[in-house]
């Protein structure tokens, strides 16, 4: 028979009706070629086919019918492969049982799959008998039969050595691609699930491999994975569907260690399939092998699949094996039956410490990334990966459909394949890379809440793997109790003042603690060095609470991480013993522990490495001042440990006196007296006056200026909408700001306090509407709300809240308010209290007796009269190109342009700010100013920078609702380099701290009459309101438009992992194209900061702090 004739008898993977049809064609062409080798034994395709037919004859004689299930309980052997093929020959479905699994898990799978027979080898006869009894007992009307035995254990059932069919063998003739071929357990968590994999699923996966990898008869594959793991199908059929050789390991299977290299070279493997964990475990052993032995590897490509692949592992592979060594990153699930995304990796693909990209979907498969409401996420954002295939996917065993509640993107209906079967919700979180490829980040639900921020353990693992001496790292979340409240931790500083200082820290628990499990490369790990390197890589909220060392990472039989075996294993890694704290240090340390809700801090622990943020730093300063320590936020930034801070403060006599005081010392700083606070009663702040005036000018245009809308979805397993509305009402009643209204009086406005809250609170049931109708209703509500002006002719509601019930487990929360009565921080704090009250996680707060805003306005008046503040205003240089007429006509709308920031870049910038001891805002503001200067060619840029007006001197301000932000003018000259730009911005921001409350409008009236600033800059880095596992918030949307011509914003949401640069601009001053170009330039400046500035900035920070740390 000619080659062409032999080619014709091997049906293509697209045309083959079943796997057996493809197999029979391969056997006809390669009958004398070795098909499978195991130990010293090997068998040709023809011989293996005879054994498979014998098994099929035996099954048919025992009454096994097409589509019935037959289980296989055996170790790796030639006859295990023959048994699997025999099951398919008989038209049955093969259920692979992994003998190394716990018996309880095996019984669960048998009860789920309900096989008619169980085939087994002699080694597992007792196990199979036990499981067979379990299956018969649990199956409906199945015959009570004994488990069968593999042919090599019963020689009398072996067929004669002829190519003719065994006597009595009548193969089913009506099999097709939709016929189930395998039952494979899925990799999901929780109760055991199993997918019914069709012949079509495996054949399509093989077609994808053929197109991307070009396997052939000359390839040698190995099956290292259990038949109960979907990768085994890739390995087995990758060889047998193309005439290649399959090598089975003799028991025990070689773990990814030194023996794996010997196994691969001895058998001449050309294809090796590993999970990412197996690869990470093998690399250190591979590095120890002589270069000559590594050179004996004959791999055409290394296929890695089954989990998220770290880029660092691939980089190390290239370093050891050369850049020409081919690594293919594959993605598929038990439900897909084969790979659906394949991509060869290059060195450039793994340059950064992030998950390696997957590439593009194979032919016939498409994908979408959807949020929890089934809507596509923005490019660059993460969403659940949903696969689509015209031929569909199989169903879950025992389930009517694989994903009956899956989202419904536009997929044409087909009479043969229902829409629900053509979509597969994978449960994996992924994002689209810049080149259009796919990057899987982690499993949905893998993130944990810690230190008030939702974090991905994978990000911590990547950072740890990059540290000296770490070969492998795994990070798990561990449930932690609620830390002490600030007020309770204040010790001697008891009483009303201390209680006021507690603020939000007395609320919900911080969530899980992070446990890091580390495998060293060889030498013992140094805990101090490790934590120091970690500070260079990621911000403090990503630092593990505990480090543990172990010899190797426990893996499952599928080569995946065994989290149950890992938890609590290994030995704690501790650093040097620190000297016992002095009484003074212990008193300050207690305050730190309360603010950070971390009860086990030491005096040399870094505040930011322990989870501190800029807002937490303000909380800490409030607590410290209440306790008698004359401290400012800049002191915490420059001296972020208890020991360093006390050393910094000890230079003043006031600090020494405060340290000797047992009880609380008087508050230090310009806190308004009661008489001064009374002067602020009813008056508005400078920024409120500006917002109210501009709202009146812009309201007719309907452009949304200072009309803030915010919405999010609340997910709760047992949603109680009535209790949620009550929680809103209770928290609204406690906030004086919700009793505030603004009334125009003469040329200005005044605040009025009503005896009861001036708020609209509503509830609307949308259960009966479809998701599309719900979306329409929510959009109509938002548009109608924006068209409703806020009242300024008397008392009236300046806040409106609506709870839309979407389902029994979800609600959409919509809020609308005037910006003059709240800022982003107070809005988030208020919602946190509402969520805490709803789930009963905090004690009810007391009603604030008076509005702290009176004291705030009085403090601003005091700063306005301060001689130093006046001198600051006179010396401030205003860039002429940064000013515009104040009476310009309002636009009909503001353009909004945004650009996603890569999360790894954001984490790098936050870590850099901590190492350099500069405000994180300084990095982003420097990039924005440099970007503006580059595009406008102006030598100097003046921006109105949003600054925190919540000063420690005003009690109650931190937790109160209201507009406690202010605008300050900051002028920057075009800098020569990134380091100089950041240093200049940081110094200006530090200098402005003293004048944070100074009224900007007064300065502009004096220096530039009739004009105002062209540019404003706002930086927010607080997370969205999170949950505790049962209660989650998702899909945040906000509309917050300022009246200035160009508003630059940086929004880092550490909770949702969404980080953006934003511009809202007046089209008369900036086109959409110009705004997009500016964002691109700013993004480039940020990238440059990470490359050019770190060493100089860190050296500068160490010098200012008094030497290296």
Strands (E), 115-173: 117-120, 148-149
**116 phi, psi to nearest 5 deg:** -75, -40
Residue 139: count other Cβ atoms within 10 Å of its Cβ.
Answer: 17
Cα torsion 606, 611, 613, 618: sign: negative
Report yes or no: 737 and 840 within 8 Å, Cβ to Cβ. no
Report yes or no: 242 and 393 within 8 Å, Cβ to Cβ. no
* pLDDT in the model for residue 54: 86
Please choose, from the candidates 942, 1068, 956, the residue with its C-alpha nearest in 3D space to the C-alpha of residue 1015. Answer: 942
Alpha-carbon dihedral of residues 632, 634, 637, 641, nearest 10 degrees? -40
3-state secondary structure of 138: helix
Exposed e or buried b per residue across 762-776, where buried means at least 16 C-beta atoms within 10 angstroms of its C-beta:
eeeebeeeeeeebbe
Band of pLDDT at residue 574, cut at 50, 70 and 90? confident
Q: Is the pLDDT of residue 650 over 90?
A: no
Please choose, from the candidates 530, 503, 508, 510, the residue with its C-alpha nearest in 3D space to the C-alpha of residue 519. Answer: 530
Report yes or no: 1052 and 906 within 8 Å, Cβ to Cβ. yes
Q: Is the pLDDT of residue 166 over 90?
A: no
**938 phi, psi to nearest 5 deg:** -75, 140
- Nearest-angstrom CA–CA distance, 1010 and 421: 65
**Bridge partners, 1059 (sequence order):** 1052
Alpha-carbon dihedral of residues 565, 567, 570, 576, nearest 10 degrees? 170
The bridge status of strand 940-948 relative to strand 965-973 is: antiparallel
- Nearest-angstrom CA–CA distance, 913 and 1094: 9
* pLDDT in the model for residue 371: 78
Quote the crossing angle between the two packed helices 903-916 and 1094-1105, to the nearest 10°. Answer: 30
Please choose, from the candidates 369, 328, 365, 370, the residue with its C-alpha nearest in 3D space to the C-alpha of residue 349. Answer: 328
Please choose, from the candidates 417, 416, 367, 425, the residue with its C-alpha nearest in 3D space to the C-alpha of residue 396. Answer: 425
Query: Burial level of 892, CB count in 10 A (0-12/13-18/19+)?
Result: exposed
- How far, rounded to the nearest angstrom, does the alpha carbon of residue 645 sit from its chain's CA centroid? 34
Please choose, from the candidates 539, 581, 514, the residue with its C-alpha nearest in 3D space to the C-alpha of residue 904. Answer: 539
Q: pLDDT tens-digit profile of 890-910?
A: 999 999 999 988 877 888 888
Scanning 765-896, the segments in alpha helix (DSSP H) are: 771-786, 824-838, 852-864, 867-875
3-state secondary structure of 235: helix
* Phi-psi label, residue 956: left if phi above 0, alpha if psi -120 to 50, beta otherwise: left
Report yes or no: 558 and 228 within 8 Å, Cβ to Cβ. yes
The bridge status of strand 301-304 relative to strand 327-331 is: parallel
Tell me what percent of the residues of the chain surpass a pLDDT of 70: 80
Most confident by average pLDDT, 451-460, 821-830, 993-1002, 1071-1080 = 1071-1080
Give me the DSSP letters along 897-944: EEEEPPHHHHHHHHHHHHHHTS-HHHHHHHHHHHHHHHHH--SEEEEE
> Among all chains, which residue has been given the structure tokens 């890091």?
516
Mean pLDDT of 837-844: 72
Band of pLDDT at residue 767, cut at 50, 70 and 90? very high
Please choose, from the candidates 712, 694, 714, the residue with its C-alpha nearest in 3D space to the C-alpha of residue 704. Answer: 694
* pLDDT in the model for residue 173: 54
Mean pLDDT of 17-25: 92
The bridge status of strand 546-549 relative to strand 571-572 is: antiparallel
Please choose, from the candidates 48, 46, 168, 195, the residue with its C-alpha nearest in 3D space to the C-alpha of residue 112. Answer: 195
- Nearest-angstrom CA–CA distance, 575 and 577: 6
3-state secondary structure of 983: helix
Strands (E), 679-722: 707-716
Lowest-confidence segment of 294-303, 581-590, 624-633, 835-844 by average pLDDT: 835-844
Q: pLDDT tens-digit profile of 170-223?
A: 556 557 888 899 998 885 445 678 888 999 899 988 988 898 889 999 999 999
Q: Is the pLDDT of residue 34 over 60?
A: yes
- Nearest-angstrom CA–CA distance, 795 and 151: 89
- Apex 777 CA angle, 775 and 781, nearest 5: 115
Lowest-confidence segment of 233-247, 745-759, 810-824 by average pLDDT: 745-759
Instruction: Spell out the domains of the chain, with CATH numbers in brackets.
Output: 447-660 (3.30.300.30), 678-852 (3.30.559.10), 866-885+894-1023+1040-1101 (3.30.559.30)
Q: Is the pLDDT of residue 977 over 70?
A: no
Q: pLDDT tens-digit profile of 228-285?
A: 888 899 999 999 999 999 999 886 666 656 689 999 999 999 999 998 888 988 888 8
* pLDDT in the model for residue 1101: 62
Q: Whole-prediction pTM value?
A: 0.69
Report yes or no: 717 and 809 within 8 Å, Cβ to Cβ. yes
* pLDDT in the model for residue 958: 67
First to last CA, the chain: 78
Q: pLDDT tens-digit profile of 855-884?
A: 889 888 888 888 888 888 888 889 999 999
Give me the DSSP letters along 342-376: EEEE-GGGGSSSSBPP-BEEPTTEEEEEE-TTS-B
Both structure tokens of 1107? 């030497």
């Amino acid at each position: 028979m000619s080659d062409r004739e032999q080619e014709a008898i091997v049906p293509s993977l697209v045309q083959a009706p079943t796997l057996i049809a493809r197999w029979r064609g391969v056997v006809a062409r390669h009958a004398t070629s070795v098909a499978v080798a195991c130990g010293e034994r090997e068998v040709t395709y023809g011989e293996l086919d005879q054994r498979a037919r014998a098994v099929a004859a035996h099954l048919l004689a025992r009454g096994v019918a097409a589509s019935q299930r037959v289980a296989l309980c055996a170790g790796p052997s030639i006859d295990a492969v023959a048994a699997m093929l025999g099951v398919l020959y008989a038209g049955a479905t093969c259920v692979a049982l992994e003998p190394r699994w716990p018996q309880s898990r095996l019984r669960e799978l048998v009860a789920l799959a309900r096989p008619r027979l169980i085939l087994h080898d002699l080694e597992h006869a007792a196990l199979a008998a036990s499981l067979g009894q379990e299956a018969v007992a649990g199956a409906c009307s199945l015959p009570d039969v004994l488990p069968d035995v593999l042919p090599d254990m019963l020689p009398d059932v072996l067929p004669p050595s002829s190519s003719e069919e065994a006597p009595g063998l009548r193969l089913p003739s009506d099999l097709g691609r939709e016929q189930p071929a395998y039952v494979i357990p899925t990799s999901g968590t929780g109760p055991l699930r199993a997918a019914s994999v069709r012949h079509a699923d495996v054949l399509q996966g093989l077609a994808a491999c053929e197109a991307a990898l070009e396997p052939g008869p000359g390839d040698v594959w190995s099956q290292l994975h259990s038949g109960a793991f979907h990768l085994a199908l890739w390995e087995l059929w990758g060889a047998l569907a193309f005439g290649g050789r399959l090598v089975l390991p003799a028991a025990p299977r070689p773990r990814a260690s030194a023996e794996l290299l010997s196994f691969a070279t001895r058998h001449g493997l050309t294809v090796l399939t590993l999970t990412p964990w197996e690869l990470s475990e093998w690399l250190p052993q591979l590095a120890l092998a002589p270069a000559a032995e590594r050179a004996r590897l004959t791999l055409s490509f290394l296929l890695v699949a089954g989990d998220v692949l770290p880029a660092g592992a691939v980089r190390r592979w290239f370093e050891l094996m050369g850049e020409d060594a081919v690594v293919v990153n594959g993605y598929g699930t038990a439900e897909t039956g084969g790979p659906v995304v394949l991509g060869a990796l290059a060195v450039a693909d793994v340059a950064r410490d992030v998950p390696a990209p997957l590439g593009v979907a194979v032919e016939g498969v498409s994908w979408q990334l959807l949020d929890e409401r089934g809507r596509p996420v923005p490019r660059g954002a993460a969403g659940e990966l949903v696969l689509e295939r015209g031929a569909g996917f199989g169903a879950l065993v025992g389930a009517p459909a694989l994903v009956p509640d899956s989202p419904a993107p536009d997929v044409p209906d087909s009479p043969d394949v229902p829409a629900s079967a053509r979509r597969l919700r994978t449960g994996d979180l992924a994002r689209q890379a810049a080149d259009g490829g796919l990057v899987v980040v982690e499993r949905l639900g893998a993130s944990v809440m810690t230190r008030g921020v939702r974090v991905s353990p994978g990000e911590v693992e990547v950072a740890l793997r990059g540290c000296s001496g770490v070969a492998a790292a795994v990070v798990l979340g561990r449930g932690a109790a609620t830390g002490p409240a600030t007020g309770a931790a204040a010790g001697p500083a008891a009483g009303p003042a201390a209680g006021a200082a507690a603020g939000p820290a007395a609320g919900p628990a911080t969530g899980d603690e992070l446990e890091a499990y580390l495998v060293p490369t060889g030498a013992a790990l140094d805990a101090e060095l490790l934590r120091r390197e970690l500070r260079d890589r990621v911000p403090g909220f990503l630092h593990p609470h505990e480090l543990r060392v172990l010899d190797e990472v426990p893996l499952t039989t599928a080569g995946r991480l065994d989290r149950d075996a890992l938890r609590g294993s290994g030995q704690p890694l501790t650093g040097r013993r620190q000297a016992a704290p002095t009484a003074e240090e212990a008193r300050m340390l207690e305050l730190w522990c309360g603010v950070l809700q971390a009860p086990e801090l030491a005096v040399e622990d870094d505040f930011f490495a322990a989870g501190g943020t800029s807002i937490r730093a303000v909380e800490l300063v409030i607590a410290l001042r209440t306790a008698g320590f004359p401290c400012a936020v800049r002191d915490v930034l420059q001296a972020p440990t208890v020991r360093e801070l006390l050393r910094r403060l000890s230079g003043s006599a006031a600090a020494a006196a405060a340290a000797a005081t047992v009880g609380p010392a008087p508050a230090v700083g310009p806190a308004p007296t009661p008489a001064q606070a009374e002067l602020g009663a009813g008056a508005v702040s400078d920024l409120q006056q500006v917002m109210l005036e501009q709202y009146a000018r812009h309201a007719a245009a309907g452009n949304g200026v200072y009309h803030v809308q915010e919405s999010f979805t609340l997910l709760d397993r047992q949603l109680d909408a009535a209790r949620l509305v009550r929680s809103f009402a209770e928290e609204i009643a406690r906030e004086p700001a919700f009793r505030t209204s603004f009334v125009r009086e003469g040329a200005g406005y005044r605040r009025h306090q009503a005896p009861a809250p001036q708020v609209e609170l509503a509830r609307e049931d949308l259960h009966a509407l479809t998701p599309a109708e719900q979306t329409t209703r929510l959009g109509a509500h938002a548009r109608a709300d924006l068209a409703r002006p806020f009242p300024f002719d008397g008392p009236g509601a300046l806040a409106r809240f609506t709870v839309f019930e979407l389902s029994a487990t979800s609600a959409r929360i919509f809020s609308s308010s005037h910006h003059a009565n709240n800022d982003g921080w107070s809005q988030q704090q208020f919602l946190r209290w509402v969520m805490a009250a709803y789930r009963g996680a905090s004690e009810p707060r007391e009603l604030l007796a008076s509005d702290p805003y009176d004291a705030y306005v009085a403090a601003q008046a005091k700063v306005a009269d301060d001689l130093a503040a006046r001198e600051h205003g006179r010396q401030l240089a205003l860039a002429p190109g940064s000013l515009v007429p104040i009476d310009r006509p309002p636009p009909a709308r503001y353009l909004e342009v945004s650009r996603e920031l890569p999360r790894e870049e954001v984490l790098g910038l936050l870590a850099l700010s901590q190492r350099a001891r500069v405000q994180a805002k300084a990095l982003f503001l420097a990039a924005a100013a440099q970007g503006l200067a580059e595009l406008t060619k102006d030598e100097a840029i003046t921006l109105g920078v949003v600054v925190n007006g919540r000063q420690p001197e005003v009690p109650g301000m931190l937790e109160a609702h209201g507009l406690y932000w202010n605008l300050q003018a900051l002028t920057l000259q075009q800098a020569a380099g990134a380091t100089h730009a950041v240093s200049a911005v940081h110094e200006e921001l530090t200098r402005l701290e003293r004048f944070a409350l100074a009224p900007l409008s007064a300065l502009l009236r004096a220096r530039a009459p009739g004009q105002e600033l062209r540019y404003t800059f706002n930086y927010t880095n607080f997370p969205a309101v999170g949950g505790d596992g049962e209660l989650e918030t998702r899909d945040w949307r906000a509309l917050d438009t300022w009246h200035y011509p160009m508003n630059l914003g940086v929004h880092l949401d550490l909770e949702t992992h969404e980080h953006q640069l934003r511009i809202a601009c007046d089209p008369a001053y900036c086109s959409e194209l110009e705004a997009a170009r500016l964002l691109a330039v700013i993004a480039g400046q940020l990238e440059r900061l990470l490359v050019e500035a770190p060493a100089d900035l860190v050296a500068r920070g160490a010098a200012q702090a008094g030497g290296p740390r």
